[in-house]
Structure 1
């Protein structure tokens, strides 16, 4: 399902993000940047050693990636050109500023995409898997963060895709994103 908002196309799809053909995919990474489970492991496996090699260089330079921040690497063997790795927060009943940290994942990823003149980007459902962030709340934060960037008209990104791995997230995102109209 596709929507247009301020000349930016926003799409919700149920798919495997590693199959995305957009310019950039976002990885729900961990602070080590060395791969893990879920979407992080899938991206590292599909992208190959080029991604890991660049992540190791980033770790040597800055010691990993803090929660809410984002870094960029090649996409290796993926169809995308870039992978933006962002570290979502582990849900702790909202007691550790998780909502603000998740918002920062989206804002920092989009700002980094703009720095690299990326025109299209695919986001997974950050922190909603093993990190247990409530799915509805995560979708609301994702959509409102994207809207904030779009309304500012200061981004090179013209297509944003929310790639949902399961039916539940897909339906939550569809319902949430309809609020942009």
Structure 2
């Protein structure tokens, strides 16, 4: 419990640095990556980011509505164009990543998880068979930061919906984004 209390005092910038390290192309030995249940600090972060995203969007489609994905992409495109959005967090695109993950959890019955490697950890979602894992904050921040986007959030949704994800076995947790 004392460890959880200490973690909650980290600044937002520290948390983002911590979460983004592996998403920035640093070499990662996957043999020591662990997917775990979410802890209190993960839940608090998810709730804060969801609230920030919903406040930023105002009146928006319900979380399970496919239109929400396009609304999220519009926000990320605005960030890409250099617009400074008023958001309760420093990184509105990260908040959009959490809301996008909620869409997948709600629509496709995926589950919230935490991914941990050594000192690095982040929120993730995984399908119920543990074939696939998505790191929504890193994915959405990558979409917002990169000049050329290989896959947009709607592309991932379509792949899940149409059963077009890469081959993976139960328990493999292949990172799809």
Structure with max Cα Rg: 2
Between Structure 1 and Structure 2, the one with more strand by share is 1
TM normalised by structure 2 equals 0.29
Q: Which has the higher contact order (CA 8 A, sep 6+)?
A: 1
TM normalised by structure 1 equals 0.28
